[in-house]
């Protein structure tokens, strides 16, 4: 079944808020509706599986690992109606025209990704995707310090908050990251001494 119009849906929020589970829920509904689906993910994200999108809760769906979103057009199957891209914050600016082209072709595009990096700053191309989306869902996690709603991702190094000058991208899970509220999110300035 083909959609009459393409659209962009963005699922965002901090780590551990359920972004991938929500993406997978939408894929399950699309399967019921007999949609033709393709899922893409960054090739270097092998935390759980190289060829699956996997949530922290263990839910999964087959995915094609790619190095750049510019690979997507050549990989599309005939009559695809839904394209999902997980961990979109890791892709470069080419994701914007690729997603826009898919939407113009009448394809429903679902993008999942972190809206902010560990510093609490906009992450990669997510701000542009959020601005261009027809549907945006910003999910919240639970702060690991106080139990309130968490909107930030805290990176930890040996149990302490990572410094502002630490590398932006380090792929990891609960051993390196926690969800935090605004009050308990900490980013010490300057280099470690």
- Nearest Cα to Cα of residue 157 among 186, 137, 116: 186
Q: Would 17 be classed as within a structural domain?
A: yes
Q: What pLDDT, on a 0 to 100 scale, did the predictor assign at position 2?
A: 53
How many structural domains comprise the chain? 1
Q: Would 186 be classed as within a structural domain?
A: no
List of residues 6+ apart from 14 with CB closer than 8 A: 114, 115, 116, 140, 141, 150, 151, 152, 153, 179, 180
Above pLDDT 70, what percent of the chain?
A: 90
Confidence of residue 193 (pLDDT cuts 50, 70, 90): very low
Q: What is the mean pLDDT of residues 49-61?
A: 73
pLDDT digits (tens, 9 = 90+) for 147-189: 999 999 999 988 899 999 998 887 766 679 999 999 999 999 8
175 is catalytic: no
pLDDT digits (tens, 9 = 90+) for 15-54: 999 999 999 999 999 999 999 999 999 987 655 567 778 7
pLDDT higher than 60, residue 99: yes
Q: Would 172 be classed as within a structural domain?
A: no
**By residue range, what is the domain housing residue 128?**
7-141
Which residue of the set 9, 22, 60, 87 is catalytic?
87
């Amino acid at each position: 079944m083909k959609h009459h119009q393409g659209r962009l849906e963005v699922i965002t929020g901090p780590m551990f808020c359920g972004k991938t589970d929500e993406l997978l829920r939408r894929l399950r509904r699309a399967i019921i509706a007999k949609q033709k689906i393709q899922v893409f993910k960054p090739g270097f994200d092998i935390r759980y599986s190289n060829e699956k999108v996997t949530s922290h809760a263990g839910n999964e769906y087959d995915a094609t690992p790619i190095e750049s979103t510019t690979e997507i057009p050549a990989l599309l199957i005939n009559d695809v109606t839904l394209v999902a891209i997980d961990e979109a914050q890791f892709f470069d600016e080419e994701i914007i025209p690729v997603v826009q082209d898919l939407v113009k072709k009448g394809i429903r595009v679902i993008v999942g990704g972190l809206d902010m990096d560990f510093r609490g700053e906009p992450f990669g191309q997510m701000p542009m995707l959020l601005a261009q989306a027809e549907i945006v869902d910003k999910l919240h996690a639970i702060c690991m310090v106080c139990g309130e709603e968490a909107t930030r991702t805290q990176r930890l190094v040996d149990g302490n908050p990572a410094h502002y000058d630490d590398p932006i991208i380090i792929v990891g899970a609960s051993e390196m990251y926690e969800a935090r509220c605004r009050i308990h999110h900490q980013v010490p300035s300057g280099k470690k001494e």
